[in-house]
Amino acid sequence: MKKHRIRHFQKQLMNWYAICHRPLPWRKTSDPYLVWVSEVMLQQTQVKTVVPYYQKFVRRFPDIHLLAKTDLEDVLKTWEGLGYYARARNLHKASGIIVKKYGGVLPDDFQLLRKLPGIGEYIASAVSSIAFGQPFAVVDGNVKRVLARLNAIDLPVNRSTSNTVFKGSADRLLARNDPGEFNQAMMELGALVCTPKRPDCGNCPVKRSCEAFRSNAVDHYPKRVKATRTPQFHIATGVVCKGQKVLITRRKLEGLLGGLWEFPGGKIRKDETAETACIREIKEEVSLKVKTDEHLTRIRHAYTHFKIVMDVFLCSYVAGRIRLNGPIDFQWIRTAQIDDYPFPGANHKFIPLLIDRLRKSAGSQVNVEKRLYK
Ligand code: SF4
């Protein structure tokens, strides 16, 4: 695009954004801490999902000092359900560094931001432009799609080898007099008008600048390379009951779902049934001998790069003392306490059923005792 056409494009886009943008809660502020929190949440998660989590999070942690001094487990509990828990762990870790090193003020230096845990190119660009008005273009999925159509870019949007081209294209279009507003306008255009399916080209404020529209080739963009099939794993999980209590274990802090609590279990091997895998996994993870009493349910859950099918068993404690091999902590809790701990989404799919099942068996136990002692 020539320079005068870029200026025209910027003007059309910004005028449209001024009138049509959604009044999202994080758009009412340029507080770097709040901008940072919102951008971390918006990575890999849709706006409508983020809104209630953002509101809950900033109510609980209105400033960075409070976030930094709060226990990670409380942060994970507030984040519970939003997924990608590494984001919460990094937010917490980075808040500690910012308080210690920068007196609780986010640095207005792109390179310093990039050095903080969990802050990559996208978040550093978003915070630098929106909170500090610095000329860094953001390139997320929405922006890539818009750029691919605007400039008829033939490269696949889902290959990292294309990133330099998309970044260069975004840099050339960036309105340097108001980069924060411009970046948000590009993302909003992708979310509301230049959508993945059936973009609303007739009402698009930048259709006259759009290469794909002018050549009647909107359907050809963006290009994608075919994703490989998502692998699926079969998991066995055991709810070990001892009296009125159940056993929960805490995952190590690093890696997938790090720091969350769960019921012990793991992958079923080729030569095993779900039941034998459940007994073996519990023995390996916590050194307890248990027996399975009942198949509670089977649930399915999808993570970004794989799916699981999980068979859940009610188990009874048989023998042994807990020695941890993998988990970093354990607790015997009553089901009424489950809400006090952050659990992964897959566990939440069977927790209501578990509570109901244990309540019924506790009720029938009481009835038996009443009959016996009448
Ligand atoms: Fe997207 Fe259509 Fe606008 Fe081009 S004209 S940017 S394809 S919505």
Provide the CATH topology of domain 232-372: Nucleoside Triphosphate Pyrophosphohydrolase (3.90.79)
CATH 3.90.79.10-classified regions of the chain: 232-372
Cα(21) to centroid(ligand 1), Å: 17
Reported pTM: 0.82
Cα-to-centroid distance, 132 and ligand 1 (Å):
29
Scanning the chain, the segments in alpha helix (DSSP H) are 3-20, 32-42, 47-60, 64-69, 72-79, 86-102, 110-114, 121-132, 141-150, 163-173, 179-192, 211-214, 274-286, 345-348, 351-372
Does the Cβ of 277 fall within 6 Å of ligand 1? Answer: no
Instruction: Report whether residue 143 contacts ligand 1, using a CB cutoff of 6 Å.
Output: no
* Nearest by Cα to 124 from 27, 28, 36: 36
Distance (Å) from CA 310 to ligand 1 centroid: 43
CA nearest ligand 1 atom 4, residue = 210
> Is any atom of ligand 1 closer than 6 Å to the C-beta of 147?
no
> Which part of the chain is CATH 1.10.340.30?
3-220
Instruction: From first to last of the 374 residues of the chain, give the pLDDT tens digit.
Output: 778 889 999 999 999 999 999 999 999 888 999 999 999 999 989 999 999 999 999 999 999 999 999 999 999 999 999 988 999 999 999 999 999 999 999 999 999 999 999 999 999 999 999 999 999 999 999 999 999 999 999 999 999 899 999 999 999 999 999 999 999 999 999 999 999 999 999 999 999 999 999 999 999 999 999 877 889 999 999 999 988 899 999 999 988 889 999 999 999 999 999 999 999 999 999 999 999 999 999 999 998 788 999 999 999 999 999 999 999 999 999 989 999 999 999 999 999 999 999 988 776 554 444 443 44
250 Cβ inside 6 Å of ligand 1 = no
Task: Kindly state if the Cβ of 13 falls inside 6 Å of ligand 1.
Answer: no
Ligand 1 centroid to 88 CA: how many Å? 35
State how far the alpha carbon of 209 is from the alpha carbons of 5, 36, 233, 300, in Å.
Answer: 7, 32, 47, 45
Q: What is the CATH topology of the domain spanning 3-220?
A: Endonuclease III; domain 1 (1.10.340)
Q: What amino acid positions are annotated as catalytic residues?
A: 39
